[in-house]
């Protein structure tokens, strides 16, 4: 059947070329697989059956299988549902972009492409979207190189590369890249760039949550060793910023090299500790009790009728049949969660089986509620993450902001998604994005922006509050402001409102020298006057000591001269003009 499909595509292409007066493009857009003209995947035993890069090298089919990327398998990455080509090793499985008109339909916020570049480096160029109403919009699609592109943004790493002479040292990378769409318009087709070093394996319209509001989220900050956990149940405590009558949760296998299995999962409103108010409600995944999440992919639970009270603590419990030796984790939860002894205890109400405490959030990255006005993302570092705030009290400044939104009616009651990562920087990766990590300060804000901002559920506005770690590590104002401008530009390109927050003073800390403070003041002057953001939150002015502007007010300082305490975090949230959050 596949050979017949490919023959039909060849005949159509020949007719377009040979018929007098025929246009250069096909008469009608075709599905992507009808254009497949390159073979990227080979069996380890037959490495010469594929030639991805024009020099005989190819991806290992066995390496892809080990990552859970098998032919025809749906993969959700960056919120987009893509399908790995349903082709066996040695058959064409991708298209070299050369202006092909591809049939793709749907409404959403972005187009998602599963891609990689060959040749000398990044590959790509301009393409075009055609809408059902006759309109068109342009985009620029760039794919990192399959051997040398950044690990921090790759969707999956294949541990080995095949060549006609056998296996080659080094690894291969595949990427999911998104480009914005015109809001609310039905896509009819996509014209690929003319860049034959750009290889496209799949594409789809992404809908990041029409009908949903993000109520809680956390960023993956690394991929550390855990447990190991075999036949254990995790019960994670998270705070719902917004309420609703339906719920779904999201698990991410970010940065992983192998699949992870969720044996079963439940959600409940917390009473106290690990105990639920009522019997936990069972979650399903595509109708099944559990899910196997491929390396680098996500799993969303099915919508569940379940009342989520705004401002309540939820218990999300999930069973790991195991073994799980390393996992994507948000390290600094500032919240006590729980780990059980052996067995599936997801349905337990009392919490008696949960005998061990956790101080991190593994695997779970999002909770959404049905309806609502959408979400605000707060992209930041440890100050946003809540470092030095009271454990279990939900006194991070995003929590206080969420409380203010719930208590008023002047602006929409947005969900608030805290994407602070302790130790994070704007322009430099702390965690390289691959392998078991010892550093859990995450990849840079630039590298995590697509995952932690544009791919979040129904995001409307983003607040960027980051930069002090860059300055303390030696970055100058010019480098940092270039990174902040890039974040603002990307937010605007995605149709988001974007606010910037000034960098807090850190005087009194050993590394915060007068030279560092001079760079900080230069960054803040640029933020206040540069116009890169739609509005600026002057957090520096809120917390600095009038008697010594290089330091925080003593009443707001946690004592380490870098992180505000509970009072300082509240002052930050209370200073936000809520009207600035409205697009």
The reported pLDDT for the residue numbered 5 is 37
Residue 505: which of 538, 530, 475 has the closest Cα? Answer: 538
Given a contact cutoff of 8 angstroms between Cβ atoms, the answer to whether 273 and 351 are in contact is yes
Buried b (16+ CB within 10 A) or exposed e, 392-410: eebbbbbbbbbbbbeeeee
User: Per the structure block, which two tokens stand in for 59?
Assistant: 């991806």
Burial of 112 per CB tally in 10 Å (0-12, 13-18, 19+): buried
Residue whose pair of structure tokens reads 């195991």 in the numeric block: 322
The reported pLDDT for the residue numbered 161 is 95
> What angle in degrees, to the nearest 10, is found between the helix axes of 514-529 and 477-493?
30
Q: Alpha-carbon distance 310 to 308, whole Å?
A: 6
Residue 240: which of 95, 5, 413 has the closest Cα? Answer: 413
Determine the Cα angle at 528 with ends 429 and 482, to 5°.
30
Q: Alpha-carbon distance 260 to 172, whole Å?
A: 21
The reported pLDDT for the residue numbered 20 is 35
Residue 35: which of 104, 84, 96, 106 has the closest Cα? Answer: 96
User: Per the structure block, which two tokens stand in for 475?
Assistant: 């970055």
pTM: 0.94
The DSSP call for residue 438 is S
> What angle in degrees, to the nearest 10, is found between the helix axes of 566-575 and 397-406?
50
The reported pLDDT for the residue numbered 27 is 63
Q: Domain coordinates of the chain in residue numbers?
A: 26-206, 228-325+336-362, 373-583
The 3-class secondary structure across 64-127, one letter per residue, is HHHCCCCCCCEEEECCEEEECCCCCCCCCCEEEEECCEEEEEECCCEEEEEEEECCCCCEEEEE
| CATH code of the domain occupying 373-583 | 3.40.50.1110
The reported pLDDT for the residue numbered 208 is 75
Per-residue pLDDT of the chain (583 residues; tens, 9 = 90+): 333 433 334 333 333 333 333 334 446 999 999 999 999 999 999 999 999 999 999 999 999 999 999 999 999 999 999 999 999 999 999 999 999 999 999 999 999 999 999 998 899 999 999 999 999 999 999 999 999 999 999 999 999 999 988 877 789 999 999 999 998 899 999 999 999 999 999 999 998 788 999 999 999 999 999 999 999 999 999 999 999 999 999 999 999 999 999 999 999 999 999 999 999 999 999 999 999 999 999 999 999 999 999 999 999 999 999 899 999 999 999 999 999 999 999 999 999 999 999 999 999 999 999 999 999 999 999 999 999 999 999 999 999 999 999 999 999 999 999 999 999 999 999 999 999 998 999 999 999 999 999 999 999 999 999 999 999 999 999 999 999 999 999 999 999 999 999 999 999 999 999 999 999 999 999 999 989 999 999 999 999 999 999 999 999 999 999 999 999 999 999 999 999 999 9
**Kind plus residue range of the DSSP H or E element containing 447:** helix 445-449
Give how far the C-alpha of residue 431 lies from the chain's centroid of Cα atoms, to the nearest Å.
15
């Amino acid at each position: 059947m596949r050979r017949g499909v490919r023959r039909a595509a060849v005949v159509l292409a020949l007719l377009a070329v040979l018929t007098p007066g025929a246009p250069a493009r096909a008469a009608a857009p075709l599905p992507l697989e009808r254009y497949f003209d390159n073979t990227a995947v080979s069996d380890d035993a037959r490495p010469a059956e594929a030639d991805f890069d024009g020099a005989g090298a190819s991806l290992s089919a066995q390496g892809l299988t080990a990552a859970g990327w098998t032919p025809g398998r749906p993969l959700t990455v960056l919120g987009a549902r893509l399908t790995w080509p349903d082709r066996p090793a040695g058959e064409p499985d991708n298209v070299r972009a050369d202006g092909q008109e591809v049939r793709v339909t749907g409404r959403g916020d972005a187009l998602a492409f599963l891609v990689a570049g060959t040749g000398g480096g990044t590959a790509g160029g301009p393409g075009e979207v055609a809408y059902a109403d006759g309109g068109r919009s342009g985009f620029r699609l760039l794919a990192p190189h399959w051997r040398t592109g950044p690990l921090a943004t790759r969707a999956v790493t294949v541990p080995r590369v095949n060549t006609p002479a056998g296996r080659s040292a080094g690894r291969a990378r595949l990427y999911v890249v998104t480009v914005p769409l015109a809001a609310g318009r039905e896509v009819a087709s996509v014209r690929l760039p003319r860049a034959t070093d750009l290889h496209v394996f799949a594409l789809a319209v992404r809908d990041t949550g029409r009908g949903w509001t993000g109520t809680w989220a956390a960023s993956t900050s690394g991929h550390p060793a855990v447990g190991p956990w075999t036949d254990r149940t995790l019960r994670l405590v998270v705070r719902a910023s917004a309420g609703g009558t339906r719920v779904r949760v999201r698990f991410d296998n970010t940065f992983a090299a192998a699949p992870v299995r969720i044996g079963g999962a439940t959600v409940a409103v917390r009473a106290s500790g690990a105990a639920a108010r009522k019997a936990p409600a069972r979650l399903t995944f595509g109708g099944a009790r559990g899910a196997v999440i491929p390396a680098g992919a996500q799993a969303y639970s099915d919508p569940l009728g379940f009342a989520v009270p705004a401002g309540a603590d939820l218990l999300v419990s999930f069973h790991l049949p195991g073994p799980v030796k390393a996992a994507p984790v948000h390290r600094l939860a500032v919240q006590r969660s729980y780990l059980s002894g052996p067995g599936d205890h997801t349905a337990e109400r009392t919490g008696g089986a949960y005998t061990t405490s956790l101080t991190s959030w593994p695997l779970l990255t999002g909770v959404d509620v049905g309806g609502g006005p959408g979400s605000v993302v707060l992209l930041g570092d440890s100050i946003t993450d809540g470092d030095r705030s009271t454990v279990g009290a939900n006194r991070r400044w995003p929590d206080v902001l969420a409380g203010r939104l719930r208590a008023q009616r002047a602006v929409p009651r947005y969900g608030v998604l805290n994407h602070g990562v302790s130790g994070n920087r704007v322009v430099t990766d702390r965690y390289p994005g691959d392998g078991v990590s010892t550093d859990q300060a995450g990849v840079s804000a630039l590298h995590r922006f697509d995952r932690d901002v544009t791919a979040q559920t129904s995001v409307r506005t983003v607040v960027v509050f980051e930069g002090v770690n860059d300055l303390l590590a030696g970055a100058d104002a010019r480098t940092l402001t270039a990174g902040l401008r890039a974040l603002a530009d990307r937010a605007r390109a995605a149709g988001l409102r974007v606010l910037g927050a000034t960098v807090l003073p850190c005087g009194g800390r050993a590394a915060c020298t007068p030279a560092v403070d001079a760079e900080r003041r230069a960054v803040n002057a640029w933020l206040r006057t540069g116009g890169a953001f739609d509005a600026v939150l002057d957090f520096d002015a809120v917390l600095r000591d009038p008697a010594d502007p290089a330091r925080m007010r003593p009443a707001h300082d946690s004592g380490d001269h870098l992180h505000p305490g509970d009072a300082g975090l509240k002052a930050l949230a209370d200073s936000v003009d809520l009207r600035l959050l409205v697009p």
